[in-house]
Structure 1
């Protein structure tokens, strides 16, 4: 028999020593908590991001840490769709439309559209993993009535100077970067004042990766000055983000509550993976189907 318990967050530290597997969602598994997990064999994230798990502490204690790859869960596809939603919401001026409805004004605001200008219109996708690939595929379907092959896309890579070159050509920059050890070391705040200043005046910035990739002050100042045309984010610098933060008072900023990958289909799939892995662990198997061990 496999025993499954849903433990209140405030009780996790006191009770974690009794369990063999921990499924993490919205909880920080720091070194103190992990040190109490004397019987723990596997810490498993209910999703892809492992920012809240101290992987080094788990490794020292002989605990495996795993995530559920986004490709099979539908997470990557739904995140790509969220990026497109944020792009369209900014182009069509969602906030102004809400005001127009409230004041019974028809036919305004005058928004912008993707139709007819995608061919000459550049999109930089920072982070070409599962989400970036799904986004690129969706942006290339139905352009001026033509279905372009994914094989025609170019995954162009380079150093920091190259990234600035890409940014200078883009009408939209989409950040899909995961918060890995490498991105923490190299890319925190990479979308800084230099980066944004290089972007076209009026260009849009979308972030569905991790909040720390954007330099808050640079983004806020360039939005106020009008150089940055709009900001659409599903991830923020701190979460939950303060709804009274000045950046959210700007009319060309749209935020969603970290729900890009939160869909019924992805949650059902991940729940099945969790159950399957628990049964595999209970059966004494040393390798697990459906998850990716990271240490």
Structure 2
């Protein structure tokens, strides 16, 4: 194990977390969360804290790299195969921001149902009555059907809020329907699309989910339905979504993740009034950043102590890891 390990983070972290990681080694933070800066500034890293995509070149270059620790759950930012082949452990933090994301989904859906983006725009531009004219077409969230695609920690938090707070019916399409709570109905993808008043995407990005919500899928949704994407941008075919929003088939969309990030200022979604757009921040609050960072610190300490870390995502990397870093 390195005498003074270098811990490299792609982003700034919660101040308390930065202090704790600094006690475990030398903490370095990328000057910008870009591939160029991450590639250039991660030289000598033993641990990489991941909140932005990691170029595969780093895995091959850094012979002292022990692990990438995902500051979150999704692993699409990490070149998994490269890490496994090189004997680099990959870990993540599961569930620490589930409540945060669930709150975001509920808030953004309510905002769209009550036409808040258009009310705010027109109130600022044309005054009181101009904004107020949207009020008769606002809708309540209570009693509606919430559909959840992918039912993990976020789905669990979201279904509880929806049922206990708003008396909603909750249905879900998931790879593990047997693990759903008794209060959540397992349905096919077709039924999920057809029955949901509000459809929340909280599934991982995989070969199966990439482009899953295409023109056909969106066309089968209820007229006026709300789509909330807190998964990954490529799960949705963006052009199909834009067409459905422009035509009025969808009542609105809350999008936190996009095919291209950062979202260009001239992107067509920027021109629409029936959207809530956020810059990949559904899971980010002061509280969630602290919880995530505390778990990252705990996992980092485990690795540096020579222990197998919690939430190891590629256990097949262990033989090569142990050959590179033999126990004393």
Kept in 2, the 8 Å contact 1:17–1:39? The answer is no
| Deviations 1:237-260, CA, capped at 9 Å, x for gaps | 211111221122111111011111
Q: CA deviation at 1:231?
A: 1.0
- Residue in structure 2 matched with residue 263 of structure 1 by the alignment: 285
Any residues of structure 2 matched to 1:70-219 within 5 Å, and which? 70=95, 73=96, 75-102=97-124, 103-106=126-129, 107-110=132-135, 111-114=137-140, 118=143, 121-143=144-166, 152-157=182-187, 162-179=188-205, 184-219=206-241
Give the match for residue 48 of structure 2: 22
1:4, CA displacement in angstroms? Answer: 2.2
Question: Is 1:236 aligned with 2:262?
Answer: no
Q: Encode CA deviations 1:211-252: one digit per residue, 9 max, x unaligned.
A: 111111211112122211111111112111112211221111
Q: Among residues 304, 312, 315, which one is paired with 1:293 in the alignment?
A: 312
Contact 2:200-2:228 within 8 A present in 1 as well? yes
Secondary structure of the structure 2 residue equivalent to 1:4: strand
Q: Which residue of the partner structure matches residue 56 of structure 1?
A: 81
Aligned counterparts of 1:7 and 1:92: Cα–Cα separation in 2: 40
What SS does structure 2 have at the residue aligned with 1:5? strand
Structure 1 unaligned regions, length at least 5: none
Q: Is the 8 A contact 1:48 1:67 kept in 2?
A: yes
State the TM-score, normalized to the length of structure 1: 0.85
1:58-84 superposed Cα distances (whole Å, 9 cap, x missing partner): 1000000111112xx2x0001001001
Say whether the 8 Å CA contact 1:47–1:69 is kept in structure 2. Answer: yes
CA distance in 2, matches of 1:44, 1:50: 10
Between the aligned partners of 1:155 and 1:128, the Cα distance in structure 2 is 11
Relative to 1, partners in 2 of residues 1:41 and 1:230: Cα closer, same or farther, differing over 3 Å? Answer: same
Cα 1:142–1:29 change in 2 (3 A) is closer
What is the number of equivalent residue pairs in this alignment?
A: 273
Quote the offset at 1:155 in angstroms. Answer: 4.1
Distance 1:226 1:49 in 2: 32
List structure 1 runs of 4+ shifted beyond 3 angstroms. 7-17, 142-145
Q: For residues 245-282 of structure 1, what are the alpha-carbon distances to aligned partners after superposition, in whole Å with 9 as ceiling and x for unaligned?
A: 11221111110111111111111122222323333233
1:67 corresponds in structure 2 to: 92
